[in-house]
Structure 1
């Protein structure tokens, strides 16, 4: 038993290293990376939703490619994708002998981890089999034989748009974790991205994890994480709070989310779920992106009493960014006056308040993830104001300036 616990601790440590390396490589994706790993540990599927050119595919490939010994499968779906292309083409040689067989090797049927791009473009012909693959890990052969059990641990899916019909909505419902990504918001991160395109590549540390270790974590270690009664009470309270705002999630989604809480605790090296783990639910309990801020506010206020003030500051920061966008096309003089006399002052004040909230929370042993998230937004918007309104190269400034 001691050996198993040691192995589990090592697995969690390696996964944290992978998360850190990916977060260093993919700017402004720290929460996305961590949540994808949590979903994988919980044996759940995830959706990365965002416009083209936001590194969705590259991030998914880098993450899944770090699982040593795993059978990986990737596909870009279209309205014309047939089930045999996904689950196994017909064996032509066998067909010439009068035998009807499929070749499953290298297809979804035999994969441990999958990356499915443009998931909502799944063809009508492949819909039922895709749903069975995601939900029950089953594939029904073309010849009507016995269902094949697929070893799939987790699928990472991606899309540039939300589902538009009933067929794609059925797939959407199977994706427990939903993550929004956008273009880089912080000009300093954008500058670093541009510099990386012309810099000489430097060999990077690339932590990996064995498939067997991941399987053990998924099947044994994560389900063994304790869920205290206080967490059950918190989940019930959260459900009631969201229902009061007419945000309804299915019972199945709530039940599956408990596994995410256990996976979050495991990833942090803990044997029991804590309130901090509830943060992952901000990526679970909404259907449309417009609902996400409401869910986030309810979840974060439950985790940390400081979150309300931080989220109020976030609203003010978002408003300033909206004003900056609305002033596009104005003269540099008018833009500079607004930046100097209003935006810069408000953003600096917000930054100081957030830093004090963070320090107070740390001193009392409370979670600071929600405050860090808003502080990141403050820095990004402040950098935009300095760069776009005042012509200052914000990438050369130190945090806090």
Structure 2
């Protein structure tokens, strides 16, 4: 099979790319989050959406999980009082009246192909071990003490407003390979579009789906068949050494399992071989605390694209301007306008032009522009904030170009 040819079910990858586009268009500033969730699903791994309330974590998870036709879906909001039987199967009262101790598993985690678990770190102590077994080994040990039940779970999307605070919830955190931070919208024009969507009738949209059979085939057969060349193995060894120098240590297990994510990323793009561009998914795997994520991101992106170093330096300068704008809250409009005109607007426009050139050079060189696109999006968002908050431009009319 020639490099670049796709074997298996190319329609699955095509449909998943369509789902990626549809969800990215619906959920503003979530392009990378959507794609990474789908990559995790293809890899048969679990993911965490980490962010404050009101950032559409649950809505996004539900919209994605319901795109799998024929799949048994299971959703739950956990609390410290959630019992294992509520999650995995309540006691059959009718059977109990006959002296039989049985559980009803239909419609519970035990029979789910895809799961959405909200407030995952509020898992009760009583349900902890069963939840760990469910996520890691896809097993449930019945209350009756019978043989363990093999659960058909393919992937679980979990969500939380906060990081785990104790050893018990930290054990669950370790089972979630992909960790995605979501925050409130930063671009005023996107926020204006969000508000407008609340008062306008929605236009019926195309809703692409995939079948459970196709997803299972991709996870079990097509994705594992994607080749991982030696250059990717070498890159991962180099990345591991770079992160260890920064005192960021990941377990050997996490590194090993992350290879399947790289294969899933290539599959999603319709390729039969992992490329350097696929390494970008590791930005969401190799950190434990959000404070570590920028360090991991920089190391990963610099490996993928030599131009990323300059783009990331520009990103730092853009964040400094955003922080400066935050610090000026409460100042007079005249003071804000003077700062915006003399300093912020000029610097942001210059950064936008430089990022545009970097992106052009990167694309012409055949390299991934994912890192530069992320910085460009941030530059546009901060520039829009300056225009609206400092210069009083109508947010709904803002369309900043890099």
Aligned residues: 399
Q: Which residue of 1 aligns with 2:356?
A: 355
Pick closer, same or farther for the CA change 1:207–1:7 going to 2, 3 Å. Answer: farther
CA distance in 2, matches of 1:204, 1:345: 39
Q: Which residue of 1 aligns with 2:226?
A: 225
| 1:170 aligns to 2:192 (yes or no) | no
Give how far 1:6 is off: 6.2
Q: Which residue of 2 aligns with 1:295?
A: 296
What are the superposed Cα offsets for residues 284-327 of structure 1, whole Å, 9 maximum, x if unpaired? 00000000000000000000000000000000000100000011
Q: Secondary structure at the match of 2:253?
A: helix
Q: Which residue of 2 aligns with 1:39?
A: 40
CA distance in 2, matches of 1:119, 1:144: 25
Q: Which residue of 2 aligns with 1:376?
A: 377
What are the superposed Cα offsets for residues 320-357 of structure 1, whole Å, 9 maximum, x if unpaired? 00000011011111111111111110000000000000
Q: Is the 8 A contact 2:112 2:151 kept in 1?
A: yes
Q: Secondary structure at the match of 1:205?
A: coil
Q: Which residue of 2 aligns with 1:80?
A: 81
CA distance in 2, matches of 1:307, 1:5: 29
Give how far 1:394 is off: 4.3
4+ runs deviating over 3 angstroms: 4-7
CA distance in 2, matches of 1:96, 1:172: 40
CA distance in 2, matches of 1:7, 1:254: 26
CA distance in 1, matches of 2:395, 2:106: 51
| 1:318 aligns to 2:319 (yes or no) | yes
Unaligned runs of 5+ in 2: none
CA distance in 1, matches of 2:200, 2:382: 27
What are the superposed Cα offsets for residues 185-233 of structure 1, whole Å, 9 maximum, x if unpaired? 0000000001110111211000000000000000000000000000000
Q: Which residue of 1 aligns with 2:238?
A: 237
CA distance in 2, matches of 1:59, 1:203: 18
| 1:260 aligns to 2:273 (yes or no) | no
Choose 197-206 or 81-90, whichever is displaced more.
197-206
Give how far 1:399 is off: 3.8
CA distance in 1, matches of 2:398, 2:168: 49
CA distance in 2, matches of 1:397, 1:79: 45
What does 1:2-401 align with in structure 2 at a 5 Å threshold?
8-400=9-401
Pick closer, same or farther for the CA change 1:370–1:214 going to 2, 3 Å. Answer: same
Give how far 1:8 is off: 1.7
CA distance in 2, matches of 1:331, 1:101: 69
Q: Is the 8 A contact 2:13 2:267 kept in 1?
A: yes
Give how far 1:22 is off: 0.3
CA distance in 2, matches of 1:303, 1:7: 28
CA distance in 2, matches of 1:285, 1:398: 35
Q: Secondary structure at the match of 2:225?
A: coil
TM-score relative to the length of structure 1? 0.98
Pick closer, same or farther for the CA change 1:336–1:152 going to 2, 3 Å. Answer: same
TM-score relative to the length of structure 2? 0.98
Q: Secondary structure at the match of 2:198?
A: helix
Choose 61-70 or 329-338, whichever is displaced more.
329-338
Q: Is the 8 A contact 2:16 2:268 kept in 1?
A: yes
RMSD in angstroms over aligned alpha carbons? 1.2
What are the superposed Cα offsets for residues 63-106 of structure 1, whole Å, 9 maximum, x if unpaired? 00010000000000000000000000000000000000000000
Unaligned runs of 5+ in 1: none
